[in-house]
Chain A
């Protein structure tokens, strides 16, 4: 059973390699992509079911005992993240089939997407700090190429910022991992969790934990390290923007949660104060930045940042309820945010622009698309009974319980401002009339039925998941609470990795 842990990593790699042999046949690559994404989702579902029924799974790669070899470990958090990212991977492949142009497809778009999935899954499943670095790099290099694929001037310019800041954060990660190894003599997460509270140089450990906070803060786009995100996420094709928006920053948040619950749990007091301040500023700066935007995707990009703030807020409160809320928030946000980007692509196809001032009239022409936009948009703003309401509700309740009234107040205010932004999109793109009739041909009208099906099925599926997450909040949240309890009990992570040696 535990061998299933390697499949979410090996499988995308194998399908990417197979696609390389069919470099001339885009049709074959498409079929392989669809098949492997469906299978990956099935495997991820199987992994989640196994972790729920059997508890944490660990795999010592190569048969080398922990902490000497590389450990793969899936607790509930990892399994849920892998499942959510597999769902996003599948919908992105479907959406790409409808939207990505031939030229990009020929230049290995689909293999790169699979490699990106491999990196993301690897980052979620690994139980080793240095291995996490390697998976981050796999993920980053695929994202670099996906970002510049096509080579338009805006893409290159966005990529310069994205690549430079990410290389910088990687080198900080490397230095932090090196110092941590020098102090602890191990990089296995479970072993570190066991050793770190007893290390003699606790001050140096605090420095290392701050270094890790900076690295993952860059990846997660936490204030004040987020400027690369709104400068680059709106430049590539919308399918790429969507998968980046849904998954990449969340990998950073996942790493923050993993490090500051499992590994540096005893450092929590000091780090949490920093995170608390950072989360308030992240929420505020993101939502205020969005208020000034009139480009559909730039506006959504700023909202990614403000939503990250909520997750970090949950982590900073560090109570079981808050962390469970943060985990629920991550899943809700992965789905709603990706969906909004998909909708922005549809709107662009109909109106011919991402500029909200020039767009309009979508609701009058296509009322269904208006409804499909409202589900994720209202979920993001936190309107009951959608998933976002419960996610915000839990985190704000935890905030009041912890007595952090100021930051909780900011969280409430940011929710209101998010609603304002979503209504701005609604008014500009959907409600008002098209300011000037379109000059060039409407790219939506010329689409065949098959392509439209591919364009809408991701939006419908993710919208349905958003509604279901809201309606069946009870059982899903119980799962999140179990995951949070596992995270806060470091022994529950240490024993399965180190205790059951083979």
Chain B
């Protein structure tokens, strides 16, 4: 299972990096989202996979006993997903506004802030 997830993470990173190198804004967004997913999955995998033993305290007992899945990576991922959701929603709106204002989706066209102002 770990090997499979490792392969999936690798593919996600490869796809994400490929996409953020494209000139089209929409593809860059997809790339950023894929990279965020890859990072979340990476946390999940390196935090050790434990199948089918959620970290619930059994009824009547005061503490966890025996083997259980580490809840912390899950909490980290949940937080990261929520933050990512907000940031990505903002980015999509920003890119849409940029496209409406500048009339282009080609990132190579957006270089006025890198050049000295024209006379």
Direct contact of A and B (CB under 8 A): yes
B21 to A: closest C-beta gap in Å: 11
Q: Is the CB of B86 within 8 A of A141?
A: yes
State A111–B36 Cα separation when bound (angstroms).
28
Please pick, from A140, A145, A161, A355, the residue contacting B117 in the complex, using a CB distance under 8 A. Answer: A355
Instruction: Point out the residues of chain B lying under 8 angstroms from A235, CB to CB.
Output: 113
Asked if B46 is an interface residue, CB under 8 A from chain A, the answer is: yes
Q: Is the CB of B46 within 8 A of A161?
A: no
Q: Would you list which residues of chain B between 1 and 54 have a CB under 8 Å from chain A?
A: 20, 25, 28, 32, 35-36, 38-40, 42-43, 46-48
Point out which of A133, A141, A157, A230 has the most chain B C-beta atoms below 10 A from its C-beta: A157
Q: Would you list which residues of chain A between 177 and 204 have a CB under 8 Å from chain B?
A: 177-179, 181-183
A 157-188 binary contact with B (CB < 8 Å = 1; else 0): 11111011001101110110111011100000
Q: How many residues of A contact B (CB 8 A)?
A: 43
Asked if A4 is an interface residue, CB under 8 A from chain B, the answer is: no
Asked if B63 is an interface residue, CB under 8 A from chain A, the answer is: no
Please pick, from A130, A140, A153, A230, the residue contacting B87 in the complex, using a CB distance under 8 A. Answer: A140
Please pick, from A140, A171, A178, the residue contacting B47 in the complex, using a CB distance under 8 A. Answer: A178
State A487–B35 Cα separation when bound (angstroms).
34
B 98-119 binary contact with A (CB < 8 Å = 1; else 0): 1001100001001011101100
Whether A144 contacts B113 in the complex (CB less than 8 A), given A174-B36, A177-B43, A181-B73, comes out as no
Point out which of B25, B28, B90 has the most chain A C-beta atoms below 10 A from its C-beta: B90
B63 to A: closest C-beta gap in Å: 13
In the complex, residue of chain A having the shortest beta-carbon distance to the beta carbon of B9:
A175
Asked if A232 is an interface residue, CB under 8 A from chain B, the answer is: yes
Q: Is the CB of A164 within 8 A of B101?
A: no
Q: Is the CB of B113 within 8 A of A234?
A: yes
In the complex, residue of chain B having the shortest beta-carbon distance to the beta carbon of A164:
B28
Please pick, from A130, A151, A179, A295, the residue contacting B79 in the complex, using a CB distance under 8 A. Answer: A130
Q: Is the CB of A178 within 8 A of B39?
A: yes
Asked if A272 is an interface residue, CB under 8 A from chain B, the answer is: no
Please pick, from A141, A157, A158, A294, the residue contacting B90 in the complex, using a CB distance under 8 A. Answer: A141
In the complex, residue of chain A having the shortest beta-carbon distance to the beta carbon of B44:
A178
Asked if A154 is an interface residue, CB under 8 A from chain B, the answer is: yes
A482 to B: closest C-beta gap in Å: 35
Please pick, from A148, A159, A178, the residue contacting B46 in the complex, using a CB distance under 8 A. Answer: A178
Whether A163 contacts B91 in the complex (CB less than 8 A), given A168-B35, A182-B47, comes out as yes
Please pick, from A140, A167, A183, A293, the residue contacting B32 in the complex, using a CB distance under 8 A. Answer: A167
State A235–B98 Cα separation when bound (angstroms).
14
Q: Is the CB of B32 within 8 A of A164?
A: yes
Instruction: Point out the residues of chain B lying under 8 angstroms from A179, CB to CB.
Output: 42, 46
Instruction: Point out the residues of chain B lying under 8 angstroms from A230, CB to CB.
Output: 114
State A298–B43 Cα separation when bound (angstroms).
39
Instruction: Point out the residues of chain B lying under 8 angstroms from A177, CB to CB.
Output: 43, 76
Q: Is the CB of A145 within 8 A of B90?
A: yes
Asked if B80 is an interface residue, CB under 8 A from chain A, the answer is: yes
B52 to A: closest C-beta gap in Å: 20
A 452-468 binary contact with B (CB < 8 Å = 1; else 0): 00000000000000000
Point out which of A144, A160, A178 has the most chain B C-beta atoms below 10 A from its C-beta: A178
Q: Is the CB of B83 within 8 A of A156?
A: no
B6 to A: closest C-beta gap in Å: 12
Q: Is the CB of B48 within 8 A of A141?
A: no
Instruction: Point out the residues of chain B lying under 8 angstroms from A160, CB to CB.
Output: 25, 94-95, 98, 107, 110
State A167–B31 Cα separation when bound (angstroms).
11
Q: Is the CB of A163 within 8 A of B94?
A: yes
Asked if A134 is an interface residue, CB under 8 A from chain B, the answer is: yes
Asked if A267 is an interface residue, CB under 8 A from chain B, the answer is: no
Please pick, from A163, A171, A232, A293, the residue contacting B39 in the complex, using a CB distance under 8 A. Answer: A171
Asked if A137 is an interface residue, CB under 8 A from chain B, the answer is: yes
Q: Is the CB of A153 within 8 A of B101?
A: yes
State A386–B18 Cα separation when bound (angstroms).
49
Instruction: Point out the residues of chain A lying under 8 angstroms from B73, CB to CB.
Output: 178, 181
Asked if B72 is an interface residue, CB under 8 A from chain A, the answer is: yes
State A161–B28 Cα separation when bound (angstroms).
11
B31 to A: closest C-beta gap in Å: 9
Whether A157 contacts B46 in the complex (CB less than 8 A), given A134-B83, A163-B91, comes out as no
Whether A181 contacts B76 in the complex (CB less than 8 A), given A153-B101, A174-B40, A293-B116, comes out as yes
Please pick, from A157, A232, A298, the residue contacting B102 in the complex, using a CB distance under 8 A. Answer: A157
Whether A156 contacts B94 in the complex (CB less than 8 A), given A137-B83, A178-B47, comes out as yes
Q: Is the CB of B48 within 8 A of A182?
A: yes
Asked if A132 is an interface residue, CB under 8 A from chain B, the answer is: no
Instruction: Point out the residues of chain A lying under 8 angstroms from B114, CB to CB.
Output: 230-231
State A95–B110 Cα separation when bound (angstroms).
31
Whether A151 contacts B36 in the complex (CB less than 8 A), given A178-B43, A295-B116, comes out as no
In the complex, residue of chain A having the shortest beta-carbon distance to the beta carbon of B114:
A231
Q: Is the CB of B39 within 8 A of A182?
A: no
Chain A residues engaging chain B, CB cutoff 8 angstroms: 130, 133-134, 137, 140-141, 144-145, 148, 151, 153-154, 156-161, 163-164, 167-168, 170-172, 174-175, 177-179, 181-183, 230-232, 234-235, 293-295, 298, 355
Supplied contacts A151-B97, A171-B36, 7 more A-B pairs, CB within 8 Å: A157-B102, A159-B94, A160-B95, A164-B28, A167-B87, A175-B42, A177-B76
12 pairs across A/B with beta carbons < 8 Å? A140-B87, A153-B102, A156-B94, A157-B112, A160-B98, A160-B110, A174-B39, A174-B40, A175-B38, A179-B42, A295-B117, A298-B116
